[in-house]
Amino acid sequence: MTPPVIEAKGITKAFGATLALDHVDLEVEAGTVLGLLGPNGAGKTTFVRILTTLLRADAGSASVVGLDVTRDAVALRSAIGLAGQYAAVDELLTGRENLELVGLLYHLGKAERRRRAVETLERLALTEAADRQVKTYSGGMRRRLDVGASLVGRPKVLFLDEPTTGLDPATRIDLWRFIETLVEEGATVLLTTQYLEEADHLANRIVVIDHGRVIAEGTSNELKAQLGGAVLEVTVTEGDQLHKAADLLADLGHSPPGEDLTRNLVTIPSDADPKVIVEAARRLGDRGIGLEDIALRRPSLDDVFLSLTGHGAEDGPGQGAGPDDEPASSHGARR
């Protein structure tokens, strides 16, 4: 067994009265993607900053490629790449200049800096825009350049903090493909996200955090299995009957029903057994509650999150974190 590439034990960090991380343990095996999934304010960025030596934990220990985040910080920084939630590229420079600058920070020679900039621009489909100032780039292009900047040092371990937040769906999928390519080539990735489908799609393992605490972990299938076989979805015709319907059907599920008022929808984690549908329809019919739709479907990661936290994960990825957010430059070699 090779030791994990990323290993954290009991990581704890408070900002004043806010306990941002509360004894977080986590391991990432070589060549895999770990998805750190959690809503805004869960502690994801704080955790990434600790693992990338930008911030010190109050307690606990962590290492990356066997290097301790405090004792071996300098060596650790040159072994990793970090792309933050907010693009850390210089607006006034061109894409190429930004990448060559990162190469300089890695102490690469001039020819090598140029070569890697060209190669990175190509990989990120930014060759055509290479000599334009970044301020003319779209949001998606900036994000690609930012991820590109984290690759110039050819790190074996990548930290991607909400790499696709705020991107349009097509650009997001492009970036997913690119991350998959890096992993095929042997990179180990810790990726934070608020998007359930992103963790589902990219991550081999998922760690769910909420309020600084790990509340679940496993593969996406394992997490889905925690909900039992299926989710019964019942849409009623009259919104004011929603609550009554949920009460009537509650004992058909393994955990309390969810009520979505905007869609007149009751969701009940239950067995993947069609008898559940028949029984639910009968009960509602007996009480004269109008039924718009009824179905059994596989649970989504969204259902898992809802049942774990009691709140949705998609209250909308917005502006993260506190007063001192992602620093202006966030590539490994810069500090």
Ligand X SMILES: Nc1ncnc2c1ncn2[C@@H]1O[C@H](COP(=O)(O)OP(=O)(O)O)[C@@H](O)[C@H]1O
Q: Which residues bind Mg ion (CB under 5 A)?
A: 44-45, 85, 320
Whole-angstrom distance, CA of residue 8 vs CA of residue 31: 17
Q: Is 6 in the site for ligand X (CB under 6 A)?
A: no
User: Closest CB to Mg ion among 84 and 299?
Assistant: 84
User: Least distance in Å: CB of 161 to Mg ion?
Assistant: 6
User: Least distance in Å: CB of 44 to ligand X?
Assistant: 3
Amino acid at 102: V
Whole-angstrom distance, CA of residue 99 vs CA of residue 180: 22
Q: Is 41 helix (H, G, I), strand (E, B) or coil?
A: coil
Which residues, other chains included, contact 181 with Cβ-Cβ below 8 Å and sequence gap of 6+? none
Whole-angstrom distance, CA of residue 37 vs CA of residue 154: 26
Structure tokens at 46: 């704080």
Give DSSP secondary structure letters for 205-274: EEEEEETTEEEEEE-HHHHHHTT-SEEEEEEES-GGGHHHHHHHHGGGSSSPPEEETTTTEEEEEE-S-T
User: Least distance in Å: CB of 43 to ligand X?
Assistant: 4
Residue from 10, 25, 27, 41 that binds ligand X (CB under 6 A)? 41
Residue from 22, 23, 31, 40 that binds ligand X (CB under 6 A)? 40
User: Closest CB to ligand X among 186 and 316?
Assistant: 316
**In whole angstroms, how large is the CA radius of gyration of the chain?**
23
Residue from 42, 126, 158, 232 that binds ligand X (CB under 6 A)? 42
Q: Is 237 in the site for ligand X (CB under 6 A)?
A: no
User: Least distance in Å: CB of 174 to Mg ion?
Assistant: 22
Q: Is 17 in the site for ligand X (CB under 6 A)?
A: no
Cross-sheet strand order for the sheet of 265-270: 258-260, 265-270, 230-236, 291-297
Q: Is 45 in the site for ligand X (CB under 6 A)?
A: yes
User: Closest CB to ligand X among 42 and 206?
Assistant: 42
Whole-angstrom distance, CA of residue 103 vs CA of residue 252: 60
Which residues, other chains included, contact 49 with Cβ-Cβ below 8 Å and sequence gap of 6+? 55
Q: Is 321 in the site for ligand X (CB under 6 A)?
A: yes
User: Least distance in Å: CB of 55 to ligand X?
Assistant: 8
Q: Is 43 in the site for ligand X (CB under 6 A)?
A: yes
Q: Is 44 in the site for ligand X (CB under 6 A)?
A: yes
* DSSP code, position 7: E
User: Closest CB to ligand X among 82 and 152?
Assistant: 82
Span near ligand X by CB under 6 A; candidates 35-43, 132-140, 168-176, 289-297: 35-43
User: Closest CB to ligand X among 94 and 165?
Assistant: 165
Which residues, other chains included, contact 41 with Cβ-Cβ below 8 Å and sequence gap of 6+? 211, 320, 321
Q: Is 319 in the site for ligand X (CB under 6 A)?
A: no
Whole-angstrom distance, CA of residue 178 vs CA of residue 122: 12
- Count of all residues that appear for the chain in the document: 335
**Exposed / middle / buried, residue 193 (Cβ in 10 Å: 0-12, 13-18, 19+):** buried
User: Least distance in Å: CB of 80 to ligand X?
Assistant: 18
**Window 118-147: contact mask with ligand X (x via CB under 6 A):** ------------------------------
User: Closest CB to ligand X among 15 and 176?
Assistant: 15
User: Closest CB to ligand X among 18 and 70?
Assistant: 18
Q: Is 324 in the site for ligand X (CB under 6 A)?
A: yes
Span near ligand X by CB under 6 A; candidates 121-129, 221-229, 305-313, 317-325: 317-325
